[in-house]
Amino acid sequence: MKLDRREFCLFSASAAGLSATGRLTYSGTQDEVRKAERSTGQEVSADLVIIGGGLGGCAAAIAALRNGQRVVMTEETDWIGGQLTSQGVPPDEHRWIESSGANSSYRKLRSRIRDYYRQNYPLLESARSKPNLNPGNGNVSRLCQEPRVALAVLEAWLAPYRASGQLLLLPEHRAVAADVANDRILAVKVRSERSGRKRVLVGKYFVDATELGDLLPLTGTEFDTGAEAQSETNELHAAKKADPGNQQAFTMCFAVDHLAGEDHTIDKPDEYAFWRDFVPTMTPPWPGRLLDFTYTHPRSGQPKRLGFSPTGGRTLDGALNLWTYRRMIDAAQFEPNAFPGDISLINWPQNDYVLGNLIGVSRDESRRHIDRAKQLSLSLLYWLQTEAPRPDGGTGFSGLRLRPDIMGTEDGLAKHPYVRESRRIRAEFTILEEHVGLNNRAMVTAKDAATVRAAEFKDSIGVGSYGIDLHPSSTGDNYIDFASLPFQVPLGSLLPVRVSNLIPACKNIGTTHITSGCYRLHPVEWGIGEAAGCLASFAITKNLTLRAIRNTAKRLETFQSYIRKQGVETAWRQG
């Protein structure tokens, strides 16, 4: 008997059929396929299976582990930590982060990063004694640090659970198939990227903490990509027409230091001629070549001059110095000669890749886009070394030195693209611009923008704050960037409309293209992941379904009390 996708969904990439909507089907009987698939891999059982070891995955694991659950977590690279490590990006955070607007476990992560520097680095006493030490003194965050330090902290946090066997961590593993029956995931098959060995992971609950929501198509979970139409969401800034392919740029980040008087110019990248002359086709228009210090200001849409001075001097026209923007080591805070110079992460408008997507394309095409994004980043570096205008009137900063050791790779680029947009579950509740966007919220509440607050959700399981910040897209949107309000994360946005035991843990919750712009940053992802781990633990312990927890007032109240006692913030206390 042939089975409907809603009853059974087991497939590998080669056996799957992908429709225009991203739905997957497999033609075969349940017994035939399940027997064949499971026989090819070692079976491992746990209470919670987490696919993806980024910030959301790590937070989900830590939450489940401290609540006594057995956990298996995979990660497709050899570094856990996602945005903070394998993607190389110091955290983007809101202005209240030191005191409120984040879970206590996230603040513990930040404190442990600072303590790692105090315990292991030759800091000057003036820096060591700062309660809110910022190793890089970067402009973007109150905590700019090296990827390896965040990695060390996360690995130390998980080490006791790994040693006891409560946690099985599988780095360099990718999900390739799923076993689903009666709207419930039974198992996920993963394959080692290094050896090709396969394992079948069996669990009570499954968390999708992948950067692109990779578990959603594998399990037949309904999802959306790209931009919704304004007629569908009534969002002030939504597109006139829906476009699943309208997705934000991704970036291949890299780290450099600067050694004055030395020449560290790399070989000219193969695609340098293309990228040197490349002018993005955008609406509103990009002001000129991408490899230039003039870009489109996100809020005004007008040309804006940026500066660059790795020597610490003034920039042209006093513009924002890109060197200090995401600087992760400020050498002046360390003992003399500890570092030959500052170390800065290059994650700028100039290396945002807009010529293709990583979602909705074949794996081969995805690799091609990543390879071209690497060429863009290397071309940016070569341009900085050879042609970029200097404040003294000369050109090129040949002392810029690529730092592969910082990123843990041979080519000096991050292990994984910095991803801003994922597949998003079709959720029990979808967060719209009218819930969190300043102007849209003022319109629907008929309140003045100065007094309006974000929507309050009775099922809140977290908080966050960040402007709605969408980078240029693959179909020609320039920046979409506007004010939002300090917001809550509703539990309904973590519940798929049909699949009963899958929980998203990062950028794949029930947002829209617009609202994903403020729910995608480091502390919010951590909070979503922690809520996912707590939710699975609570459901297992109480023998309840996820919907029963959310849709019964007393159970919801008990769950919220359960997570608050563990340091989860569910309401804003600005200050």
Which of 312, 251, 299 is CA-nearest to residue 89? 251
Structure tokens at 488: 């809550």
Contact 296, 287 (CB under 8 A): yes
Please check the confidence at residue 27 and state whether its pLDDT lies above 70. Answer: no
Going by the DSSP 8-state scheme, the letter that residue 81 receives in this structure is -
Please check the confidence at residue 200 and state whether its pLDDT lies above 50. Answer: yes
pLDDT tier at 38 (50, 70, 90 boundaries)?
low
> If you compute the radius of gyration of the chain from its CA atoms, what whole number of angstroms results?
23
Residue 170 phi/psi, 5° resolution? Answer: -120, 85
Please check the confidence at residue 29 and state whether its pLDDT lies above 60. Answer: no
- What is the model's pLDDT at position 318? 62
Residue 144 phi/psi, 5° resolution? Answer: -110, 120
- Packing angle of the helix pair 147-164, 104-120 (nearest 10 deg): 110
- What is the model's pLDDT at position 28? 41
Please check the confidence at residue 32 and state whether its pLDDT lies above 90. Answer: no
Please check the confidence at residue 224 and state whether its pLDDT lies above 80. Answer: yes
Per DSSP, the three-state class of 241 is coil
Please check the confidence at residue 17 and state whether its pLDDT lies above 80. Answer: no
**Per residue in 281-327, pLDDT tens?**
999 999 999 999 999 999 999 999 999 999 865 565 668 899 999 99
Per DSSP, the three-state class of 133 is coil
> Across the chain, what does the average pLDDT equal?
92
Cα separations in angstroms, 503 against 19, 400, 415: 24, 43, 26
pTM, 2 dp: 0.93
Structure tokens at 500: 């009963």
Please check the confidence at residue 11 and state whether its pLDDT lies above 70. Answer: no
pLDDT tier at 6 (50, 70, 90 boundaries)?
very low
Question: How far apart, in whole angstroms, are the C-alpha atoms of residue 432 and residue 429?
Answer: 9
Contact 418, 250 (CB under 8 A): yes
Q: Which residue is it, tokens 């040197």?
A: 276
Q: For the chain, what percent of residues have pLDDT higher than 70?
A: 91
Question: How far apart, in whole angstroms, are the C-alpha atoms of residue 441 and residue 437?
Answer: 6
| Burial of 252: CB neighbours in 10 Å, binned 0-12, 13-18, 19+ | buried
**Per residue in 348-406, pLDDT tens?**
999 999 999 999 999 999 999 999 999 999 999 999 999 999 988 999 999 999 999 99
Please check the confidence at residue 18 and state whether its pLDDT lies above 50. Answer: no
| b (16+ CB within 10 A) / e for 212-233 | bbbbbbbbbbbbbbbbbebeeb
- What is the model's pLDDT at position 317? 64
Looking at the DSSP assignment, which residues form a beta bridge with residue 180? 185
- What is the model's pLDDT at position 273? 98
The amino acid at 508: N
- What is the model's pLDDT at position 319? 81
What number is the average pLDDT over the span 509-528? 98
- What is the model's pLDDT at position 10? 33
Structure tokens at 542: 């109480």
End-to-end Cα spacing for the chain: 62
Q: For the chain, what percent of residues have pLDDT higher than 90?
A: 89
pLDDT tier at 490 (50, 70, 90 boundaries)?
very high
What number is the average pLDDT over the span 1-19? 31
The amino acid at 197: R
- What is the model's pLDDT at position 313? 59
Please check the confidence at residue 19 and state whether its pLDDT lies above 60. Answer: no
Please check the confidence at residue 97 and state whether its pLDDT lies above 90. Answer: yes
Task: Please state the separation of Cα 281 from the chain's center in Å.
Answer: 26
**Per residue in 69-91, pLDDT tens?**
999 999 999 999 999 999 999 99
pLDDT tier at 25 (50, 70, 90 boundaries)?
very low
Please check the confidence at residue 347 and state whether its pLDDT lies above 60. Answer: yes
